[in-house]
Amino acid sequence: MTSINKMKEMPIRKLLLSMSLPIMVSMLIQALYNIVDSMFVAQYSQDALAAVSLAFPIQTLIVAVSVGTAAGLNSLLSRKLGEQNFKEANEVANHGVLAALLSGIPFMIFGIFFAQTFISAFSDRSTIISDGTTYTLICTVCSSAVLVEIAYERLFQATGHAMYNMYMQGAGALINIILDPIFIFGWFGFPAMGVTGAALATVTGQILAVLLGIYLQRRHVKELHISFRGFHLKKHIFAQMYAVGFPSIIMQSIVTVLTIGMNAILVGFSETAVSVFSVYFKLQNFVFMAVFGMNNALVAIIGYNFGARQKERILSSIRFAIQMAVLIMLIGTLIFQLFPQALLQLFNADAAMLKIGVPALRIISLSFLFAGVSIELSALFQALGKGISSLMISLCRQLLIVLPCAYLLARFSELDSIWYAFLIAEAFAMVIALFLYRKIKISMIDPMEHSL
């Protein structure tokens, strides 16, 4: 169980970096192929980019359920491993994979019956409605692949095998990037399928990533045995998983509400403004995913050491994680400040898109440093089973403050001023996160008797 022992014994900085880097790389690859997907679609046509942008909220909702379910799995599994309770750890792993698989069914139903209605709510142009509906349908029907893929990522993280995340995500991303131009533009004798081709390339990469993840787990991760032979459903395991997972789902779903709300506000200015916001979100994911990669490793490390009653390792982990997050966010801010036009040109931006997008990227990126602190503190709350605290931070960051501010700024000012809503929201959320951290530290961490 050497991979488990290192969670308790390896120096914190080395442990966090060794676990975070593979996760960061895999998530950066994920962000990269999302960007590449939109880049190819933008080369096909601006209408195609608009169609994919309108489908983006549904994709974020799928990811929300994936990440939330996996967060509950990661938190509970890490604690069971920290307690050396391997029998229950296996039961948790089986329930987590099953939960991920079944969670795809509602999305499949939505895609089949309601995709067109959703896209039509934001556009009356027939080409955008047709392309957006098809893209949404394909992504939702195959959504179980994303859900199971992220569940397996958390299994690897909790057992200290985070390197396999990189293999799994890398394989899926590579397949997607290779297939994108082939399917979209009709290379090598394939028909040019446009947006449909982009969706098919995406889900093909996801399905192959899942298959690789299953293989790697069975072949190399001996700590867990995932099998549904003789499986007995235990409601209390689902209850414990979703005590953290459900608030995390709501927390992640806020991104969907934010995107829908911002689209509704921005479409009053132009469809180009909607495309700019979608492009920004995919670009900022490239920065944020690095921080979220460390966040995911931090949940496993803190969860394990909380179960093992290792106070100093918990405190050292959160301090170092915040330092690294601030550094990453600072680099991201500088890139957005110095090269906004070059970033937008990746998406074949015309003059109208540049006029809106350049100030948008510069203004919103000012909020990155505040977000880095909030995100890492949220990881601590998740690891300690305080999902509601994580939910409160995300509500402040991405809903309760930003949308009302954006709405008011849109009514009484010009388009450029809307982007300041993100800066206001992130600063406020960081203050709340620091307040909640102080309370949780006093009540749960400081009383621990054993420390290294």
- Whether residue 4 is predicted with pLDDT greater than 60 in this model: the reply is no
Higher pLDDT, 78 or 401: 401
Distance CA 71, CA 279 (A): 27
| 242: nearest Cα among 450, 65, 39 | 65
| 31: nearest Cα among 228, 289, 280 | 289
Higher pLDDT, 411 or 247: 411
Residues 6+ apart with CB under 8 A from 112: 137, 140, 141
Q: What pLDDT is attached to residue 210?
A: 93
Give pLDDT tens digits for 191-227: 999 999 999 999 999 999 999 999 998 888 877 788 7
Cα 208 from chain centre:
19
Give the CA dihedral 422, 282, 390, 250, nearest 10 degrees.
Answer: 100
Average pLDDT over every residue of 94-99: 89
Give pLDDT tens digits for 35-65: 777 888 988 888 888 898 888 889 889 988 9
* 99 in a structural domain: yes
* 451 in a structural domain: no
Angle between helices 46-82 and 143-158 (to 10 degrees): 40
Average pLDDT over every residue of 348-372: 94
Alpha carbon separation from 96 to 27, 45, 49, 250, 284 (Å, rounded): 20, 40, 35, 18, 29
**Banded pLDDT at 5 (limits 50, 70, 90):** low
* 452 in a structural domain: no
Strands (E), 15-94: none
B/e letters for 9-23, b = 16+ CB within 10 Å, e = fewer, are ebebeebbebbbbbb
Residue/partner pairs of 317-321 with CB below 8 Å, 24 or more apart: 317/12, 317/16, 318/376, 318/377, 318/379, 318/380, 318/437, 320/12, 320/13, 320/16, 321/16, 321/294, 321/295, 321/376, 321/379
* 450 in a structural domain: no
Taken in order 280, 113, 124, 202, the sign of the CA dihedral is positive
Q: What pLDDT is attached to residue 452?
A: 42
Average pLDDT over every residue of 304-326: 87
Domain range for 109 is 2-445
Q: Average pLDDT, whole number, for the chain?
A: 87
**Banded pLDDT at 402 (limits 50, 70, 90):** very high
**Number of independent structural domains in the chain:** 1
Average pLDDT over every residue of 268-273: 86
Query: Which of the listed ranges 226-240, 328-342, 381-395 does the model predict with the highest average pLDDT?
Result: 328-342
Please give the structure tokens belonging to residue 398.
Answer: 């991405």
**Banded pLDDT at 325 (limits 50, 70, 90):** very high
Other CB atoms within 10 A of residue 366 CB:
17
**Banded pLDDT at 82 (limits 50, 70, 90):** confident
Q: What pLDDT is attached to residue 115?
A: 94
Distance CA 42, CA 346 (A): 9
Terminal Cα-to-Cα distance of the chain (whole angstroms): 21
Higher pLDDT, 247 or 12: 12
Distance CA 146, CA 21 (A): 21
Distance CA 50, CA 316 (A): 45
- Whether residue 390 is predicted with pLDDT greater than 90 in this model: the reply is no
B/e letters for 330-345, b = 16+ CB within 10 Å, e = fewer, are eebbebbeeebeebbe
**Banded pLDDT at 449 (limits 50, 70, 90):** low
Give pLDDT tens digits for 406-418: 999 999 888 999 9
- Binning the chain into helix, strand and coil, the percentages to the nearest 5 are 85, 0, 15
* 17 in a structural domain: yes
Q: Please state, for a pLDDT cut of 90, what percent of the chain lies above it.
A: 40
* 304 in a structural domain: yes
Cα 399 from chain centre:
17
**Banded pLDDT at 450 (limits 50, 70, 90):** very low
| 243: nearest Cα among 101, 386, 70 | 386
* 243 in a structural domain: yes
B/e letters for 135-151, b = 16+ CB within 10 Å, e = fewer, are bbbbbbbbbbbbbbbbb
* 266 in a structural domain: yes
**Banded pLDDT at 1 (limits 50, 70, 90):** very low
- Whether residue 163 is predicted with pLDDT greater than 70 in this model: the reply is yes
- Output the 3-class SS for 346-409: CCCCCHHHHHHHHHHHHHHHHHHHHHHHHHHHHHHHHHCCCHHHHHHHHHHHHHHCHHHHHHHH
- Whether residue 22 is predicted with pLDDT greater than 70 in this model: the reply is yes
The single-letter DSSP state of residue 419 is: G
